Amino acid sequence: MSGRLFLTFDDRHIDSWVAARPILDAAGARATFFVMEADELDDRERAGLGTLLHDGHAVGSHGMRHRNADTTIDEHGDDGYLALEIDPSIMALRELGATARCFAYPNSRRSDATDAVLLRRFTYLRGGGPRTADLDEARIAVIPSGPAPRVLPSRGVDTGRGAVAHLADADTLTALLRCVADHDASLVLYAHDIAARSDANHLHPARLAEIVAEARALGLAMHTLDDLPDEGSTP
């Protein structure tokens, strides 16, 4: 049995991500952090990203200002979008030592047209996927063995937002992880803040610990998206 689990986290919750390092370390997991507003980070946040990179985690782009790709391209054109939202983000992240080789879509807003524009800059793009307890539907997020698609499906694992709890779908995720292990497949998960309580979308640290322990027990490798080969399958 093998298979791969890619953990990803979005936005700018750098302090929480740094605090969660022991959870990832305990399971030998490496994650990919998709950062927005890379030009506005304060000294502590910049140092935090340095720590995550030093640990072997990867940092990708989540855009400069979290603009929706589709509407911003409509408004500014392909080149205008890249100049406004993407190129400055890549530049700021590279100055911090990140590869910025991958991109996660803000609000999961993508289309074939936005993929084509963004693949001019990135090797892999992370799209979204349904958060459903229905296993057949959830399996859409499982990436079969072989070259990974340039546009990766993913599954959300946040436990809540503010006081509102999200779908309790631990059983569905367990079934998906088993499926990934049995078929030498891959699965990309995404979350935001890592905290017991947060106004933002957040993954409870105890739930993160559970997920990585489960993946480890199944023998899943937990590498960063930067570990994917340069050649993906073309969309």
Q: How far is the CB of 36 from Zn ion (least distance, A)?
A: 7
Rule CB under 5 A: is residue 193 a binding residue for Zn ion? no
Alpha carbon distance 176, 3 (integer Å): 11
Rule CB under 5 A: is residue 158 a binding residue for Zn ion? no
Binding test (CB under 5 A) with Zn ion, winner from 3, 4, 8, 10: 10
Residues numbered 136 to 155 that lie near Zn ion (CB under 5 A) are: none
Per DSSP, helices labelled H in 99-204 are 112-118, 135-138, 170-182
Binding test (CB under 5 A) with Zn ion, winner from 4, 8, 9, 11: 11
214 sits in the region (left: phi over 0; alpha: psi -120 to 50; else beta) called alpha
Q: Which two tokens stand for residue 185?
A: 């497949």
Number of residues that bind Zn ion (CB under 5 A): 3
> CB-wise, 11 or 158, nearer to Zn ion?
11
Let me know: does 130 contact 140? Beta carbons within 8 Å.
Answer: yes
What x/- string results for residues 90 through 109 when contact with Zn ion is judged by CB under 5 A?
----------------x---
Alpha carbon distance 2, 31 (integer Å): 18
Give me the residues that bind Zn ion (CB under 5 A), please.
Answer: 10-11, 106
